Amino acid sequence: MRGGDLNPSQLTRLKVFCRTVLANEEVYAAKLLEDLKSSIFDAVNLDQKGRITSKIYLLTGLYTTHLLSRGYSPTYLFNRAEMFTRENNYQGRSFLQQFEAITERLRTYTTEHEVCFAIRANKPNSLLTIDDDSVFTFMDEIPAAIQGQDREKLIREFTPNVIASATVETTDHIGASWYVKDKLDQLLDTVTALDLNPKIQISSHCVTIARHPTGSHTKAINISFLLGFLSSEGGTYFSSSNASIRHAFSKLDEQGEEQLGRSLRYLRLARESVSMEQKLLNLWIALESLYTGGQSTILSNIIEYVPQIYAVAALSRRVRYLRDLLVKARAIAPQRVRDEFGLPEIFDEEVTGEQIFLLLRNEGLTIELFNSLAPKEHLKYKIMSTFEEMKTNATIAKRIRNSEIDVERQLKRIYFLRNKIAHTGHYSNIRPQLITHLLDYLASCYLALSVSAENASSKNGQSVDELFAGYKMGADIVLARVNSDCQVDHLSELVPVPVG
């Protein structure tokens, strides 16, 4: 393989291999679930907590990815996960029995859902006269099964003159709603293609009807809200930063101001976009607008900067995240931990990231804090995993390398999807996770520009490329520190200080 390209023979072998894997999907899925169950319930040596929890974490991630690929919606899986965390959901079952009941339902359960959307069309007959569509039935009245609050939500925005109904068999009602909304958009595209100024409104809510031998169950779902939830900025650098990028304009030259302005415009368009493919396209344009300089392709320019910017900035972010978890859990600090780092008895808002970093560099006291958090298993896992990443210069350097590799892979995956959308009109099966990743990468770039502009000493206008170069030089210094024999003593030493 040369330059990342596969020759025809290699492509053929890869195709055969992938086809073989897909043909045995159910076998692999059953084995994955068996291994996950074994990792949780088999007798183990509890002295090896790190290895055990890392294995559970890995297998749970693989199992969740498998469920998403089968069509389960993230919202539905989140609700299934809560079946493990709330005692009133157990109904006398043990944790093992609850695990088996939930995973069995996820493995075999599908049900038939009727999904209804309300429509207001300026030419309702163009829909009501359709009687040959394989998916939809159109009617002028809301089905009698939809009553009460569900009915009110369906007609809240306007008085409909068409009701679109489709019956599908899916894993869950949210998945059914997404599928039907996608199909409805496709159908309306064909119906209105030759109309002059078509005016069609679709309700933000749909109503699903699940019919059982003993009756039916309806549920109203706000599809517009779920779209925002799936591509939420929560958890990205956008949600955790108090920085502003306005001051960056005062340090940029005229071309740089225009360049950054274009990027921010497409960020706004992405936030306003309804469809996943438009969000992804606009976010990618916002990102590539920042990297139009250089002699290489835009993708090469992006990959030269973004993985390192993101990976180095993520170090302090991981420490702050652990600090926030300790504060939110109101964890009690053991006496020796308090004395060593000047911490209060209960972790509160006064605790700093620097104190948490110094704690993580002290193995004995980290273990003492870990052991004091008896029932808080998620918090204990995050302490342990963050400690393993931060305990030495070598582990920090490894964390940076792994992050850079992950980000580069994601960027190439997103770029491939972007080309598919732009050149072939592809729009289905766009994972919300990719949009969240792209938002995070873009936010880290804006923060890098903001910090570089704040530290820029030159009074003359600089280009966007120069501000990024200054930040990258600061990140290079961080890399040099963690790759040296002189141990990093403070969190501030892991924060890039731009050169310029």
Q: For residue range 42-83, what is the model confidence (pLDDT) as tens digits?
A: 888 877 777 888 889 899 989 988 888 777 777 788 888 888
CB 320 within 8 A of CB 353: yes
Element (H, E) at 289: none
For CA atoms 243, 498, 434, 256, the dihedral sign is positive
Q: What pLDDT, on a 0 to 100 scale, did the predictor assign at position 276?
A: 83
Q: What pLDDT, on a 0 to 100 scale, did the predictor assign at position 241?
A: 55
Closest CA relative to residue 127, chosen from 197, 203, 209, 184: 184
Roughly what angle, to the nearest 10 degrees, separates helices 363-372 and 353-360? Answer: 110
Residue type, 418: R
> What's CA 301's distance to the chain center, in Å?
24
Q: For residue range 392-450, what is the model confidence (pLDDT) as tens digits?
A: 999 999 999 999 999 999 999 999 989 888 887 766 667 778 888 899 999 999 999 98
Q: What pLDDT, on a 0 to 100 scale, did the predictor assign at position 476?
A: 95
Distance CA 111, CA 213 (A): 12
Every domain of the chain and the residues it spans? 8-108, 111-224, 231-500
Distance CA 377, CA 93 (A): 21
| 3-state class (DSSP) for residue 227 | helix
Q: What pLDDT, on a 0 to 100 scale, did the predictor assign at position 2?
A: 45
- The Cα angle at residue 493 between residues 491 and 495, in degrees rounded to 5: 80
Distance CA 219, CA 326 (A): 37
| Cβ contacts of 344 within 8 Å, gap of 6 or more | 333, 338, 350, 351
Residues of the chain above pLDDT 70, percent: 93
Element (H, E) at 92: none
| Cβ contacts of 157 within 8 Å, gap of 6 or more | 201, 203, 204
CA atoms in the 13 A half-sphere facing the CB of 263: 23
Strands 162-170 and 215-222: unpaired
Distance CA 68, CA 72 (A): 5
Distance CA 453, CA 464 (A): 10
Distance CA 73, CA 64 (A): 11
> Tokens representing 165?
């109904």
Longest dimension (CA), the chain: 78
Q: What pLDDT, on a 0 to 100 scale, did the predictor assign at position 343?
A: 93
DSSP one-letter string for 133-177: -SSEEEESS--TT--HHHHHHHTSSS--SEEEEEEEEESSHHHHH
For the chain, the average pLDDT equals 87
Q: What pLDDT, on a 0 to 100 scale, did the predictor assign at position 229?
A: 56
Q: For residue range 359-368, what is the model confidence (pLDDT) as tens digits?
A: 999 999 999 9
> Tokens representing 80?
């299934």
Q: What pLDDT, on a 0 to 100 scale, did the predictor assign at position 3?
A: 45
Edge-to-edge strand ranges of the sheet holding 200-212: 136-139, 162-170, 111-121, 200-212, 215-222
User: Radius of gyration of the chain from Cα atoms?
Assistant: 26
Strand partners, 168: 113
pLDDT tens for the 500 residues of the chain, in order: 444 567 888 889 989 998 988 888 888 888 999 999 999 998 888 777 778 888 898 999 899 888 887 777 777 888 888 888 888 888 888 999 999 988 887 876 677 889 999 999 998 998 999 988 989 999 999 999 899 999 999 999 999 999 999 999 887 888 888 889 988 988 888 888 777 788 899 999 999 998 777 777 889 989 877 766 555 555 555 555 555 677 778 788 889 889 999 999 998 888 888 788 888 999 999 999 999 876 778 889 999 999 999 999 999 999 999 999 999 999 999 999 999 999 999 999 999 999 999 999 999 999 999 999 887 888 888 999 999 999 999 999 999 999 999 999 999 999 998 988 888 776 666 777 888 889 999 999 999 998 998 888 766 788 899 999 999 999 999 999 999 999 999 999 999 999 87
